[in-house]
Amino acid sequence: MNTNIEKQQRYIQAVDVTLSVYEWGQASEERETLVFIHGYPDEAQVWDKLASLLKADFHIVSYDVRGTGLSGQPLSEEGYHMDYLISDLKEVIQQTSPNQPIHLIGHDLGALQGWEAVLDNKLKDYIKSYTALAPSIDHVGIWFKEHINSKHPAQVFAAMKQMISSSYMLFFNIPFIPELSWHLVLGKAWPQVVSQLEGKKVESHPHQLRNGIHGLGFYRLNLFKPLLNARKRYTSVPVHFLSMTKDRFVPQHLVDKQERWVSSSFTRTDIPLGHWGIASHPDLIAAPIRNYIQKLTA
């Protein structure tokens, strides 16, 4: 196999922004296409080490989500609504793999976008499988409702405890203060924060300040309303869930029972890594992704 495949960058025009897209190889009948969506406050570069481990077997695609990396930003915060993000994903798939469906992989807020793409089978014709590294916002919302309305005090306590743990999301919705925090402290300190969380040095992103500030639009438009109005939605797309068992942001109790939203095959793989395991230990992520897709397409 050719392991000397170089990373190529190009721009794709979406509805209202230009997206920076990165590819290793090209789409073909002999090679399955994998499309990666990054989370917050990252950019597509977070997938580079993982892509280098998979490029010999697959056609790899990643892109800077609108407002991050080298991609354009919408004219207003309304441009970060989930509908625009799903439209961006569809455009990337159509441009990079026009003749066959792809395998989607999503991390953090990118995972929420991936779930939105497959639930209600929105992009079913474009997606052959979905590998998620976080549960859907619907799943989390329903978990909260089930526990808060439970007659068991332990479950109510668990819900209250999780609300406290997730209070950083509320902070992101405060006007001006989160942006100021990124300008004054987080823009420079973030790589050290992630490295400390993962117990291994993680490379910084060249557009970290921009990513942190513009990514706030996603939180402000796409989290609290869906959480409060969580729906029971389903998909017939095969789903592979990668559970990072040491993830402080996605605890294990929010991961369980996701198979009830999948009417086709559901596979779960537990990996003893933290939230940014995709960057700190990409070899432990690449193996289950490769094995799952090769078995699925055999």
Domain ranges of the chain: 7-297
Question: What is the C-alpha to C-alpha distance for residues 172 and 174, in angstroms, rounded to an integer?
Answer: 6
* 150 — pLDDT class (breaks 50, 70, 90): confident
* 1 — pLDDT class (breaks 50, 70, 90): low
pLDDT at 198: 92
The residue-averaged pLDDT of 74-93 equals: 96
Share of the chain above pLDDT 70, in %: 99
**What is the architecture of the domain spanning 7-297?**
3-Layer(aba) Sandwich (3.40)
- Tokens 């003893």 map to which residue? 272
* 279 — pLDDT class (breaks 50, 70, 90): very high
pLDDT at 225: 86
Q: pLDDT digits over 214-230, tens only?
A: 999 999 999 888 888 99
pLDDT at 159: 75
Q: What is the mean pLDDT of the chain?
A: 93
pLDDT at 258 > cutoff 80: yes
Question: What is the C-alpha to C-alpha distance for residues 263 and 134, in angstroms, rounded to an integer?
Answer: 19
pTM listed for this prediction: 0.95
* 259 — pLDDT class (breaks 50, 70, 90): very high
**Of 13-17, 25-29, 158-162, where does the model show the most confidence?**
13-17
**Of 110-114, 142-146, 166-170, where does the model show the most confidence?**
110-114
